Structure 1
Amino acid sequence: MKKLLFFFLLMPILIWSQSNFDKAEKLFQAKKYQEAQPLFEEVLKSKPLDIKTMDYLGEIEAHQKSWVKAAEYFKKLKELRPTTADYFYKYGGCLAMRAVEVNRLKALGMVGEMKESFEKAIILDPKHIPARWALIEIYLQLPGILGGSESKAISYSNQLAQLSSVDGYLSRGRIDVYFERYTLAEKNYIKAHEIGKSKITFQKLYNLYLNKLKDPKKARELKQKFES
């Protein structure tokens, strides 16, 4: 009898919680993040270990650039789901974005945990492309004395090339741009654009012509061809 009574008392809460979740999910999909957030937070009060709700809240905090709060959600998620690569990647990404905001000394202290998170994502999902991009940026941005390494960045670029030829050429172009090898970057971006023919590949090559090679004619011709 007690179990039955508990069931009937609990049912309205569960129905209300699911109703709020459905509303919040629709708002999130419509990019109405501020409206969705309080609804998800209410759901989490009644279901404190709900994976989807925490994931949505982490994404909302990230959209709002609240990197510390977002990291807290993704840290909890990677603890609850230690075999899900994306939670490690998202946690590392929040740390990386937070590192941009803090002083250099504090940022350097966060690098180890960032790398571990991205490396773990790759272990869990050997085809994880974004984690490799993140590691390329870390090895480019870090000073050599603190672990920065062009060769390691190239190593991850080579891994990307095996998974996606477009990402391989784009990442190699990114490395060339970082070291101001703009002619080599152009060759890699051209190859990426020939294969991908996407807005991303166009933008990389267009920006290179306009901002690095200072060749507005090539930029204009590329834009006209892409838009046609």
Structure 2
Amino acid sequence: MKKLLFFFLLMPILLWSQSNFEKAEKLFHAKKYDEAQVLFEGVLKNKPSDIKTIEFLGEIAAIHKSWVKGAEYFKKLKELKPTEAEYFYKYGGCLAMRAMEVNKLKAFTMVDGMKEAFERAIILNPKHVQARWALIEIYLLLPGILGGSESKALGYSNELAQFSPVDGYLSKGRIDEYFKRYTAAEKNYMKANEIGKSKVTFQKLYNLYLNKLKDPKKARELKQKFEL
């Protein structure tokens, strides 16, 4: 009898949560993020470990550039579902974006957390492209005394090349460009553009011509070919 009574008492709450979750999801897809957030937060009070609700709230926090809050949500998600690579990647991403807002000293204290999150994402998903890109940026931007390493950045670039040739060439181009080896960067971006033929590959090569090689003629010719 007590179990039956508990069921009838609980049922309206569950139905309310489901109904509000569906409303919130529709608002999210309609890009009405503030309204969706209010409903999702209400759902979370009744279902504090609901993975989809926490994920939506994490996405909204990221859209609002509330990186600390986003990191909290994705940290909880990776604890609730430690086999999901994307939660580790997004947690690391929130830390990385937060690091760009704080002073350098504080940012450096966050690096290990970022690296651990991105490395875990790769272990869980060996073909995780974005996590490798994130690690490449970390090893490029960090001073050598704090763990920056061109060889480690190249290592992740080589891994990318094994299953995504376009990303392999783009990442090698990025490394060359960072170290001002613009001729080598041009060759890698050209190879990426030959394979990918996308807006991303075009833009990388176009920007290199325009901003680094200072060759508006090549930039113009490339743009004409891309627009054909």
TM-score, normalising length: structure 1 = 0.97
What corresponds to 2:96 in structure 1?
96
Q: Where does residue 141 of structure 2 map in the other structure?
A: 141
Cα displacement (A) at 1:36: 1.3
Q: How much does 1:30 deviate? A: 2.5
Counterpart AA for 1:77:
L
Q: 2:220 aligned with 1:203, yes or no? A: no
Shift of 1:85: 1.0
Cα separation, 2, equivalents of 1:184 and 1:30: 44
User: Shift of residue 209 of structure 1?
Assistant: 1.3
Shift of 1:32: 2.3
Q: CA deviation at 1:227?
A: 2.0
Per the TM alignment, residue 126 of structure 1 is displaced from its structure 2 partner at its CA by: 1.0
Give the match for residue 156 of structure 2. 156
Residue of structure 1 equivalent to 2:85: 85
Please state how far the C-alpha of 1:110 moved relative to its aligned partner.
0.7
Q: Output the CA distance in 2 between the equivalents of 1:20 and 1:220.
A: 52
Superposition TM-score, scaled by structure 2 size: 0.97
| More off after superposition, 23-32 vs 41-50 | 23-32
Percent of aligned pairs sharing the same letter: 81
Distance 1:26 1:205 in 2: 39
User: 1:218 deviation in Å?
Assistant: 1.7
Q: How far off its partner does 1:35 sit? A: 2.1
Between 76-85 and 22-31, report the one with greater CA deviation: 22-31
Residue 130 (structure 1) aligns with: 130
Partner of 1:107: 107
Matches within 5 A, 1:1-228: 1-228=1-228
Counterpart CA distance in 2 for 1:178 and 1:163 is 23
How far apart in 1 are the matches of 2:186 and 2:35?
44
The amino acid of 1:140's aligned partner reads L
Gaps of 5+ in 1: none
Aligned residues: 228
- Give a deviation string over 1:150-195, Cα, whole Å, max 9, x none: 0000000000000100000000011011001111111111111111
Q: Secondary structure at the match of 2:131?
A: helix
* Pairwise CA distance, 1:138: 0.5
**Mean CA deviation greater in 127-136 or 31-40:** 31-40
CA RMSD in angstroms comes to 1.0
Gaps of 5+ in 2: none
- In structure 1, C-alpha distance between the alignment counterparts of 2:24 and 2:193, rounded to whole Å: 38
Q: For the residues of structure 2 that align with 1:22 and 1:218, how far apart are their CA atoms? A: 51
Q: Distance in 2 between matches of 1:220 and 1:25?
A: 44
* Alpha-carbon offset, residue 84 of structure 1: 1.1
1-side partners of 2:123 and 2:205: how far apart? 32
> Which amino acid is 2:56 matched to?
Y
* Code of the aligned partner of 1:204: K
- CA separation in 1, counterparts of 2:18 and 2:66? 26
**Cα separation, 2, equivalents of 1:30 and 1:186:** 41
Alpha-carbon separation, structure 1, partners of 2:22 and 2:128: 29
C-alpha deviation, 1:224, in angstroms = 2.1
Q: CA deviation at 1:16?
A: 1.5
